[in-house]
Structure 1
Amino acid sequence: MPEQDPGILAQDVRRRFGAVEAVRGMSLTVPRGEVTALVGPNGAGKTTLLLMLATLLAPDSGHLRVAGLDPATDADAVRARIGWMPDVFGVYDQLTAREYIGFFAEAYRIPAGTARERVAELLELVHLAEFAEQPVHVLSRGQKQRLGLARALVHRPEVLLLDEPASGLDPRSRVELRDLLRAQAREGTAVLVSSHILTELEEVADRVVFVDRGTTVSEHAIGELGTHRRTWRVRALEGDLPAALDRRGVEHGEPTPSGVDVLLESEQAAADLLRDLIADQVRVVSFAPAGNHLESAYLAFTEERR
């Protein structure tokens, strides 16, 4: 398969459950060697799309390819090429962590000698080596999440599908997850990750696909997200900040202990406003974006659909 082919290609994919059309026209591209974030609210169709990519649901219509293959008609071949980590996955509680990963290595028909090395490597990679001989049921939720990630990586997949992988992870583990996904992308893996934790997604993703109500809203490179209106938070020690904002026609919220939120068109507009507030004798002590680019961009791109 040509190297330039995307890891995932979806065009006008639809899936209905009775009267509910969960996915109604989603399109996206997930290039090899990049991390693509799938962002949308609960009920947007993210998990349904991932289930179709993982061969667990068939689309009603549309064009879907994973590693160049149709998951509806070439399910076995697709499963051999993907690593799939669902939001909720079952574990075999009485197996040890080492046995658990070894079981899936055997399922993928990895030779025994190679499998032992791969299992040890993965336990180190997800920082579970010290729990290798412990039964799975003693692991915390976050540790089970990391075990699930190791399971998804056991056969060195071409495409990695992750549904809420940071759920249950502590801050350090989230940083480690970010580094691991970046490393997978550098090795040429096409990574698609769905999550509500937008701060972590912004730090790990090369691209983002916004979805809402079963459809694709837009696709962007992360670097393109700075060209939209976003909220900034201003806090001042002295001076009538709301009055100064009103005089300059700046849209703002009500004052709170953490400051006043203002809606600005660009970073240049933010710099100009800060200059003007200082000229108005408002003693500004903090002036920074509220939230992150990914969150602000998502709100901006979906605002007209509400």
Structure 2
Amino acid sequence: MSRESGVTAHGVRRSFGSVEAVADVDLVAAPGRVTALIGPNGSGKTTLLLMLAGLLTPDAGTVSVAGFDPVTQTYQARSRTGWMPDVFGTWDSLTAREVLTTVAAAYRIPAADGERRAAELLDLVHLSELADQPAHVLSRGQKQRLGLARALVHDPEVLLLDEPASGLDPRSRVDLRVLVRRLAAAGKTVLVSSHVLTELDEMADDAVFISRGRTVASETVESAGETRRWRISALDQDVLVAHLDQAGVGYVVEPDGGAGVLVPLSDDTEAAALLGDAVRAGVDVVSLAPAGGVLEQKYLALEEERR
């Protein structure tokens, strides 16, 4: 697949009356990779995803999904897009199986193929035992899993996932991460929005950060983690701080009575060297670990810069 077959957005804007929900967004999500869309509430993430899904029209800018414009080439774009909203609306009178076969029919999949596809997907999202139960009896997490299956019915090239882990239990969250990585490995473009940044650390290859409707950063997860803060704590913090001062290591004592000291380190090797030096210097180190995930730290740093 070419990069153009993924998702691109350039200079995208969308307002609702006097409220500018998306002010200026640039985004690239490449095939075979998972791209995380990160931003605070009200930053325009869902509005952007709705435009990519062809459910809203941009006021300005250009959008391409799987090589097609969702506004002018609606059928071609939607037939290649799997859309999972943050809240899954269901036809309560239909069973889980009927929800999927109905969606399959909407995509013009022959009935027999739709039945087979529904069975495969119900097994994939661990809903086979509830396949013939009405959708209204499903829990929030089960409806989320059914929503993911619905997005996959027509084997789309592009997946747009808005808070897909919302309401999922821990086991289902792990299953979701594994499935998303498998879909990307198969060459699909996956764009996922989530507030659980630690999960995105394990799922995403790239990240696009937006704030107040604008793109503020875009990079790979690997490059975002080149320098991250680690938390080191000791039985006597004064002794630890004195050692760091003597060693010329930059640090920040955690505010608000935090028990540790934050140190910027580039990788595990540098962390191991810091720990070894401290122990040899007689510091009774209690723990040394990253102070949050890569994306969480990048996001917080951007928020601090913005303020």
TM, length-normalised to structure 2: 0.92
Runs of 5+ in structure 1 lacking a partner? none
Q: Distance in 1 between matches of 2:157 and 2:215?
A: 24
Q: Distance in 1 between matches of 2:120 and 2:157?
A: 18
Structure 1 residue 232 displacement after superposition: 2.0
Structure 1 residue 86 displacement after superposition: 0.5
The one of 222, 230, 233 equivalent to 2:231 is 233
Q: Is the 2:15–2:22 Cα contact (8 Å) retained in structure 1?
A: yes
Specify the alignment match of 1:217 in structure 2.
216
Q: Is the 2:231–2:291 Cα contact (8 Å) retained in structure 1?
A: yes
Q: Distance in 1 between matches of 2:221 and 2:238?
A: 37
Task: Spell out the pairing of 1:123-202 with structure 2 (5 A cutoff).
Answer: 123-202=122-201
Q: Is the 2:209–2:216 Cα contact (8 Å) retained in structure 1?
A: yes
Distance 1:261 1:142, change over 3 A: farther
Structure 1 residue 76 displacement after superposition: 2.4
Q: Distance in 2 between matches of 1:6 and 1:263?
A: 41
Structure 1 residue 238 displacement after superposition: 4.7
Answering whether residue 87 of structure 2 is matched by residue 78 of structure 1, we say no
Q: Is the 2:51–2:57 Cα contact (8 Å) retained in structure 1?
A: yes
Specify the alignment match of 2:297 in structure 1.
296
Q: Distance in 2 between matches of 1:42 and 1:239?
A: 37
Structure 1 residue 67 displacement after superposition: 1.1
Residue identity (%): 57
Runs of 5+ in structure 2 lacking a partner? none
Structure 1 residue 53 displacement after superposition: 0.4
Q: Distance in 2 between matches of 1:136 and 1:89?
A: 11
String of CA shifts for 1:100-138, please: whole Å, max 9, x gaps.
111111111110111111000000000000111111111
Q: Distance in 1 between matches of 2:222 and 2:237?
A: 36
Structure 1 residue 201 displacement after superposition: 0.9
Distance 1:104 1:117, change over 3 A: same
String of CA shifts for 1:136-194, please: whole Å, max 9, x gaps.
11111000000000000000111110000000011110110011111111222111000
Answering whether residue 18 of structure 2 is matched by residue 19 of structure 1, we say yes
String of CA shifts for 1:63-107, please: whole Å, max 9, x gaps.
111111111122222111111000112111121111111111111
- Count of matched residue pairs: 303
Q: Distance in 2 between matches of 1:182 and 1:253?
A: 35
Q: Which amino acid aligns with 1:237?
A: L
Q: Distance in 2 between matches of 1:253 and 1:116?
A: 57
Q: Distance in 1 between matches of 2:30 and 2:283?
A: 48
Moved more, 12-21 or 113-122: 12-21
Q: Is the 1:231–1:290 Cα contact (8 Å) retained in structure 2?
A: yes
Q: Which amino acid aligns with 1:260?
A: G
Moved more, 275-284 or 49-58: 275-284
Q: Is the 2:97–2:132 Cα contact (8 Å) retained in structure 1?
A: yes
Q: Is the 2:232–2:287 Cα contact (8 Å) retained in structure 1?
A: yes
Q: Is the 2:33–2:184 Cα contact (8 Å) retained in structure 1?
A: yes
TM, length-normalised to structure 1: 0.92
Q: Is the 1:6–1:30 Cα contact (8 Å) retained in structure 2?
A: no
Q: Secondary structure at the residue paired with 1:5?
A: helix
String of CA shifts for 1:190-236, please: whole Å, max 9, x gaps.
110000111111111111111111111121122112223x3322232
Specify the alignment match of 1:262 in structure 2.
262
Q: Distance in 1 between matches of 2:115 and 2:241?
A: 68
Specify the alignment match of 2:284 in structure 1.
283
Specify the alignment match of 1:244 in structure 2.
242
